[in-house]
Copies of this chain bind each other. A is one copy, B any other.
Amino acid sequence: MKIINSAREMQLYAEDLRLQGKRISFVPTMGYFHEGHLALMREAKKTGDCLVVSIYVNPTQFGPKEDLAKYPRDFDRDCRMAQSVGVDVIFFPPNEEMYPAGYQTYVNVEKVTLNLCGLSRPGHFRGVTTVCAKLFNIVKPHVAVFGKKDFQQYITIKRMVADLNLDLEIKGLATVREADGLAMSSRNVYLKEEERKSALQLSRSLQLAQKLYAGGEKSSKIIIAAVTELIKSVPYTDIDYVKICDTENLADVENIIGESVIALAVRVGATRLIDNHVFGEYLKF
């Protein structure tokens, strides 16, 4: 497994692969891998000749009061895990490589970033799209795989790729969950034992929403009220939002008619967790 720190070296390596007719698959990450990341890598591995994984805790997607400094990191462990699933190249750039002095260019997807996490994390998606645009230009992938746990991120990246005519395919992969239903996230390590129990209420509430929907309920208001009540019934939870949106524009819907997603963000203790479920899709754990 090759480790590359320089953007230009990565780009030259990628261009060379392309000229050899090789297919590059790519998983951009912030590191501190869990089974969710490995699932993305296994999927990407299937569809390419060379699997590149980037590890970069991107400062421009963190707000001033967010957890950039204490975001969990363990490069050596990440490398071992990456190697175990057959990653070919780790791209691991330092900040000076990604945002050198004088840096001033940003990519912004204007509409799908307004709702949900865009409301409570202003600038977050601008940071995500900017770093992904850069990474796509550096790694030159034919396909990039994203987890649908970050549903708004997945939709936003797809939109950017279509709008800017980026010549790659974006694949979305279903959320990977612990056996008890908790959506895997690098931030789960922050949870204290009692908080970890309360955090289970997030996936349970999505199951409730799916059950109500399957039983014929189409009113967002009624489903959101039931979900909210269930989350509030356990300690340490502080809801940021519970919303039902169409999956294309991520605009709130009053009634579930077209393809819709229920998305929620909840602070459990000091840790902000997100989860979501597209109505009608499989959800069992």
Question: What is A's interface to B at a CB cutoff of 8 Å?
Answer: 7, 11, 15, 18-19, 21, 102-112, 129-130, 133-134, 137-138, 140, 159-160, 163-167, 248-249
The 5 closest A-B pairs by CB, nearest first: A105-B163, A137-B165, A104-B110, A104-B111, A105-B109
Closest to A168 in B: B137
- Flag if B21 contacts A159 (CB, 8 Å): no
Across the interface, which residues of B come within 8 angstroms of A21, CB to CB? 19
Each complex incorporates copies of this chain amounting to 2
Min Cβ gap A159→B in Å is: 6
Chain A, interface SS category: mixed
The answer, among B15, B106, B133, B248, for a CB contact under 8 Å with A110, is: B106
Nearest CB to that of A106 among chain B residues?
B108
| Chain B residues positioned under 8 Å from A107 (CB to CB) | 105-108, 133, 164
Among A21, A109, A165, residue most surrounded by chain B Cβ atoms (within 10 Å): A165
Residues from chain B with a CB closer than 8 A to the CB of A140 are 167
Q: Which chain B residue shows the least CB distance to A167?
A: B11
Cα of A21 to Cα of B15 in the assembled complex, Å: 11
Interface centre among A105, A108, A140, A160 (most CB of B within 10 A): A105
Closest to A129 in B: B105
| 10 additional A-B residue pairs with CB within 8 Å, beyond A107-B108, A137-B164 | A11-B167, A102-B159, A102-B248, A104-B110, A105-B107, A105-B108, A105-B159, A106-B108, A107-B164, A137-B167
